[in-house]
């Protein structure tokens, strides 16, 4: 039994070493990725429920890792948050979004606001507001064409500091929305204290909308309360016509999900905007 225990232990440490080595390799590749131009923004439309036209595009980061293909953010954003690289990379995403928006404008496409995700770590960085201002100045973008999405959980951390930063961003004319709403145990009434214009109902409540009367009741309540607080509502993760029909009947204004489009690279996003103009 003792020998077996030792074998298990050896097996365990080997696995630990492998995991640590993989973690280290991931981290060092990530450190070089920005300079090597391996990040790319993808775009997913948020549509107006009544007209089914593109209303906003959310910018979602992808990492084109050599010999590994396209890496999704869930497998590297948490690490970027942990080691602070989200600060320069988040700034890069914001700049790319503004440049893209200006390029589409120059191409004569009907302007579409772009929504950029902001992580909690970026709020803790002293230079955030200044770097946003610099990007606005350098790209010449109209601030009303940019939105920031902040998760409910991020808002709840460091309350007063976050509130002050959000106030300054709002004063610049950039709109703010609450991401993943409903997962963070806060109340809409409390969130009303933040200068937020839009909430995005988390996909968890949309997934079983057709099957679950409870989820339908929760979503209806969120929509009703946001209406009375004059907040716009987006339903995330809409995948079926059934979900779409229910949301539409409940008076939800906007929806995002695979039913309309997956997140797509720049060129495909451009096609969506061209088709939007033709429609």
Instruction: Note the residues at the interface with ligand C2E (CB under 6 A).
Output: 44, 60-61, 72-74, 77, 86, 90, 93, 117, 119, 149, 179-180, 237-239, 256-258, 263
Residue 201, binding choice from ligand C2E, Ca ion, none, Cβ under 5 to 8 Å by partner class: none
From the list Ca ion, ligand C2E, none, partner contacted by residue 77 (C-beta under 5 to 8 A by kind):
ligand C2E
Site track for Ca ion across 80-119, x = CB under 5 A:
-------------------------------------x--
- For 228, the 3-state DSSP assignment is helix
Q: Supply the minimum distance, in Å, between the C-beta of residue 57 and ligand C2E.
A: 12
Q: Name residue, tokens 């201002």.
A: 133
Residue located via tokens 């590749």 = 29
Q: How far is 144 from 107, CA to CA, in rounded Å?
A: 19
Total site size for Ca ion, rule CB under 5 A: 5
| Most distant CA atoms of the chain, gap in Å | 74
Q: DSSP class of residue 72? A: P
Q: Which does 263 bind (CB under 5 to 8 A by kind): Ca ion, ligand C2E, none?
A: ligand C2E
Min dist CB 197 to Ca ion, Å, is 15
CB of 188 to ligand C2E, least distance (A): 18
- State whether residue 197 is helix, strand or coil: coil
How many Cα atoms occupy the beta-carbon half-sphere of 31 within 13 Å? Answer: 7
Q: Choose among ligand C2E, Ca ion, none what residue 11 binds, the Cβ cut-off being 5 to 8 Å by kind.
A: none
Q: What 8-state DSSP symbol labels residue 179?
A: E
How far apart CA 218 and CA 135 sit, in angstroms, is: 39
Q: Among ligand C2E, Ca ion, none, what binds residue 97 when CB lies within 5 to 8 Å by partner kind?
A: none
What is the footprint of Ca ion within residues 220-259 (CB under 5 A)? Answer: 236
C-alpha to C-alpha distance for 121 and 81, rounded to whole angstroms? 6
Q: Which is nearer to ligand C2E, 15 or 31 (CB)?
A: 31
Note the Cα 232 to chain centre separation in Å: 16
Identify which range of 7-15, 48-56, 90-98, 143-151 contacts Ca ion by CB under 5 A: 143-151
Provide the strand spans (E) within 114-158: 114-117, 146-151
Residues within window 145-184 making contact with Ca ion, judged by CB under 5 A: 149, 179-180
Q: Are strands 69-71 and 54-65 parallel, antiparallel or unpaired?
A: antiparallel
Contacts to Ca ion by CB under 5 A:
117, 149, 179-180, 236
């Amino acid at each position: 039994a003792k020998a077996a225990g030792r074998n298990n232990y050896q097996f365990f440490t080997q696995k630990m070493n492998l995991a640590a080595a993989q973690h280290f390799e991931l981290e060092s590749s990530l450190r070089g990725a920005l300079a090597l131009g391996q990040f790319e923004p993808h775009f997913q439309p948020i549509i107006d429920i009544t007209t089914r036209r593109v209303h906003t595009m959310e910018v979602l980061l992808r990492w084109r890792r050599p010999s590994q293909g396209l890496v999704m953010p869930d497998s590297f954003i948490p690490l970027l948050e942990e080691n602070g690289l989200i600060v320069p990379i988040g700034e890069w995403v914001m700049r790319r979004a503004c440049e893209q928006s200006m390029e589409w404008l120059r191409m004569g496409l009907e302007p579409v606001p772009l929504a950029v995700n902001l992580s909690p770590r970026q709020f803790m960085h002293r230079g955030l507001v200044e770097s946003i201002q610099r990007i606005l100045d350098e790209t010449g973008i109209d601030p009303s064409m940019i939105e920031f999405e902040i998760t409910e959980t991020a808002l709840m951390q460091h309350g007063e500091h976050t509130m002050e930063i959000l106030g300054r961003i709002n004063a610049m004319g950039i709109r703010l929305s609450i991401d993943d709403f409903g997962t963070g145990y806060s109340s809409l009434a409390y969130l009303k204290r933040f200068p937020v214009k839009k909430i995005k109902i988390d996909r968890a409540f949309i997934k079983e909308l057709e099957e679950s009367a409870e989820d339908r009741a929760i979503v209806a309540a969120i929509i009703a309360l946001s209406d009375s607080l004059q907040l716009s509502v987006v339903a995330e993760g809409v995948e079926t016509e059934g979900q779409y029909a229910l949301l539409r009947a409940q008076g939800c204004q906007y929806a995002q999900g695979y039913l309309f489009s997956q997140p797509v690279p720049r060129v495909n996003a451009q096609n969506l905007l061209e088709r939007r103009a033709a429609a």
